[in-house]
Amino acid sequence: MTKVNEKIAIDHGLKADEYKKICELLNRIPNITELAIFSAMWNEHCSYKSSRKHLKNLHTTGEKVIQGPGENAGVIDIGDDDAIVFKIESHNHPSFIEPYQGAATGVGGIMRDVFTMGARPIANLNSIHFGSPQHKKTKNLLRGVVKGIGGYGNCIGVPTIGGQTSFDESYNGNILVNAMTLGLVNKKKIFYSKAAGINKPVIYVGSKTGRDGIHGASMASAVFDDQIEEKKPTVQVGDPFTEKLLLEACLELMAQDSIIAIQDMGAAGLTSSSVEMASKGKLGIELNLNKVPCREEEMTPYEIMLSESQERMLIVLENGQEEKAKKIFEKWNLDFAVIGKTTNSKNIVINFNNEKVAEIPLDFLAENAPLYDRKWKKTKLPQKINFKNQDFKSLKLKDCLIKILNNPNIADKQWVWDQYDHTVMGDTIQKPGGDAGVVRIHGTKKAVAASVDSSATYCYAHPLTGGKQIVCESWRNLISVGAEPIAITNCLNFGNPEKEKNMGEFVECVQGITEASKFLNFPVVSGNVSFYNETKDKGIKPTPSIGGVGLIKNYENMISMDLKKEGNIILVIGKTEGHLDQSVFAREIFNEKKGPPPEINLFNEKNNGLAITKLINKKLIESCHDISLGGILIAISKMCLKGNKGVKMNKPKYLINTYEYLFGEDQARYLIEVSKNKLKKVEELLDENSIHYEQLGYVIKEKIEFSEKSNISIDELKKGNKQWLKQYMVN
């Protein structure tokens, strides 16, 4: 057996002082298996040692929250004993190393987190971020990730109903792949991971254990260097067909009242699942690794404990239920083995070949895991850019619009979602490409809306404001389809937390998320932190992804963004100040990347959103779309494209020039389509709620008309918006 020393500990991702602490806790030098267990449980991915201090400040409670952070996924109440289980999680490092399997196993892992709690998955979403389109690796990474997401989700039969795809040079050396799943469960039949009872059988089910994914969790807590290709063996290999069998078998067993606790073998595999189950229950656990089903010969305890082979679960059963459970899993052609028991020792004990190969007090792995209060640097609010009227004189509105519509982050992403099955199960009633995806709850009038959002540009410019903005963006997207926003899940993607600037970006983004979610009563119920997203000392822009979930009580009230009828009036809801700093317009037209992000007024966000909800529920509006990237003109262009209609634009009446008005990215705004006969009622409601609004124009046939001499056809819009990604992937 390898003799452990400080160098070996450092090779396992531990710091020298962490290794010293381990030796002090044990009062001895750990053996290699014990060191492996410590390295897995103490890495950033599992211990949250740099983030726990700040995550405690998140707003996590609410009237409809059944389970907040701390479990496999969050749970919210949607009425009638129905609950939605959901979570978003990163699989960034594996996807950069091996894009297909990295993305595929990210989808598989997040679905297991959901059905582990007794829920049947009903929808998937994703937030994927790539380097500059000109970078040599971007195209292949994009192709591999999209195929991996589609390959796994399509095979298991869960619709992908929404997502986000962006490009930025900061992801050249470290792409982001964040996967989200929603599941439906009876709120009286939710399963948790906390073990209970002494001498209860510990059951291994699913696929056999192999050598794939060893050190996967540690790799996810490390920066990349020139030897990145050498890390391919740490990427897990997924099998969606086995996952489907595992899903059905687990749900069948869950109906038998046999399960005390259940945990997915995700990051750090058998190590994390066994430690977490036992430590949550303040129990001990004893495992016999000779009983673990292995697909490779002569696997060592070290390899078995660290393997991240996919499609595996650990279950604590009631006594006497082993045969019943075994029959179910064998029926589904899955491995089943009793590999241990719960104890009162409060230790994890590992046996192999009739020898005790590891024994560690569980407190050392959980409560005594490192907790760092890292130094961090506050980001100053950048000075505002003073755009002058002469800057705009040589511009042509039509040319600017086409150029922005062709921007990779604005361009239509249909090439991506066309590769996902978004209609399987037959309950998808709003497909990708709108403000939010929507699935109905089968057999009811209810529907659930979900979206994923992030804004690295805003967060990089000013993390506190950017953190607020993405929560508000999620809120608006749900509002725009007629949903009541209920809760969010977050995937917090950042660089190296040991650098004060990166840590400051994290701290302030969390502060912004907390402030906005509390004000909007939009709590965080689950999530994930992904640090060390950097290569060769170059980190990503701070990219917190927010997955929002809302309820539509009657899906007949659902609304979409496509324009409906000629002659209808378009209203802008919310005040337009013409904020161009950090806008797509400033970057694309002026190559200006400085300045602050738009201000966030939480009162206006809430007030405007609630007013839109009232209008939708009273059936006073025909379509709705929130105004975000690109401003008013991009928002109305997308509504035109969706509905194959045009708009006759009014001239802005106040304050700012045409370009600031049409391309400014002021927040808390929506576009709504109103029929003439309902306009008075709409205006009355808006006035009653002190909502600023103005007429943008009215719906016409197939063009956007700025003036008598300036217009653009829908065909030209399509060419500008829908062709970029298809052409990019073909060329």
Q: What is the full DSSP assignment across 174-210?
A: --EEEEEEEEEEETTS-------SSSPEEEEEESPB-
- CA–CA distance, 371 with 352 (Å, rounded to integer): 32
SS3 for 133?
A: coil
Amino acid of residue 544: P
Per-residue confidence at 233, pLDDT binned at 50, 70, 90? low
Per-residue confidence at 215, pLDDT binned at 50, 70, 90? low
Q: Write out pLDDT tens, residues 559-617.
A: 999 999 999 999 999 999 999 999 999 999 999 999 999 999 999 999 999 999 999 99
- CA–CA distance, 260 with 315 (Å, rounded to integer): 8
What residues contact residue 446 under an 8 Å CB cut-off, 6+ apart? 78, 79, 80, 82, 440, 551, 552, 553, 554, 555
- CA–CA distance, 659 with 588 (Å, rounded to integer): 13
Short-list 304, 265, 272, CA closest to 33: 304
Q: How many residues does the chain have?
A: 731
Category of 655 on φ-ψ map: left (φ > 0), alpha (ψ -120 to 50) or beta:
left
Per-residue confidence at 219, pLDDT binned at 50, 70, 90? very low
- Range from 354-363, 687-696, 701-710 carrying the lowest mean pLDDT: 701-710
Q: What is the CA radius of gyration of the chain?
A: 26
C-alpha torsion angle, residues 165, 166, 169, 175 (rounded to 10): -30
- CA–CA distance, 273 with 283 (Å, rounded to integer): 14
Give the residue carrying structure tokens 């995937």: 491
pLDDT at 231 > cutoff 70: no
Check residue 634 and give its pLDDT.
97
Beta bridge partners of 350: 287, 358
Q: What is the mean pLDDT of the chain?
A: 94
Check residue 223 and give its pLDDT.
54
Q: How far is CA 58 from CA 45, 454, 483, 517, 538, in A?
A: 19, 18, 23, 8, 28
What residues contact residue 95 under an 8 Å CB cut-off, 6+ apart? 102, 103, 106, 141, 144, 145, 148, 175, 177
Check residue 255 and give its pLDDT.
93
Asked if 30 and 350 touch (Cβ cutoff 8 Å), the reply is no
Check residue 710 and give its pLDDT.
84
- CA–CA distance, 596 with 464 (Å, rounded to integer): 11
Check residue 232 and give its pLDDT.
47
Please return the burial class of 694, using the count of CB atoms within 10 Å of its CB with bins 0-12, 13-18 and 19+.
Answer: middle
Please return the burial class of 442, using the count of CB atoms within 10 Å of its CB with bins 0-12, 13-18 and 19+.
Answer: exposed
Asked if 81 and 445 touch (Cβ cutoff 8 Å), the reply is no
Per-residue confidence at 234, pLDDT binned at 50, 70, 90? low
- Range from 45-49, 130-134, 336-340, 517-521 carrying the lowest mean pLDDT: 45-49
- Which helix (H) or strand (E) element contains residue 507? helix 500-519
Read off the pLDDT of each residue in 539-545 and give the average, rounded to a whole number.
97
- CA–CA distance, 705 with 37 (Å, rounded to integer): 65
Check residue 657 and give its pLDDT.
87
Q: Write out pLDDT tens, residues 261-318.
A: 999 998 889 999 999 999 999 999 999 999 999 999 999 999 999 999 999 999 999 9
Residue-wise DSSP of 562-582: S---TT-EEEEES------TT
- Which helix (H) or strand (E) element contains residue 349? strand 347-352
- CA–CA distance, 75 with 84 (Å, rounded to integer): 6
Per-residue confidence at 217, pLDDT binned at 50, 70, 90? very low
Per-residue confidence at 429, pLDDT binned at 50, 70, 90? very high
Read off the pLDDT of each residue in 408-427 and give the average, rounded to a whole number.
94
Read off the pLDDT of each residue in 631-660 and give the average, rounded to a whole number.
91
Check residue 235 and give its pLDDT.
74
The shares of helix, strand and coil residues in the chain, as percent rounded to the nearest 5, are: 40, 25, 40
- CA–CA distance, 110 with 723 (Å, rounded to integer): 32
Asked if 480 and 612 touch (Cβ cutoff 8 Å), the reply is yes
Q: Write out pLDDT tens, residues 670-685.
A: 999 999 999 999 999 9
Q: Write out pLDDT tens, residues 482-541.
A: 999 999 999 999 999 999 999 999 999 999 999 999 999 999 999 999 999 998 888 999
- CA–CA distance, 276 with 267 (Å, rounded to integer): 12
Q: How far is CA 425 from CA 157, 159, 250, 557, 641, in A?
A: 7, 7, 19, 21, 28
Q: Provide the whole-model pTM.
A: 0.95
C-alpha torsion angle, residues 332, 333, 339, 341 (rounded to 10): 10
Q: Write out pLDDT tens, residues 353-362.
A: 999 999 999 9
Check residue 220 and give its pLDDT.
46
More confident residue, 722 or 669: 669
The residues assigned a catalytic role are 45, 91
Q: Write out pLDDT tens, residues 235-261.
A: 778 889 999 999 999 999 999 989 999
Read off the pLDDT of each residue in 6-11 and give the average, rounded to a whole number.
94
Read off the pLDDT of each residue in 59-65 and give the average, rounded to a whole number.
97
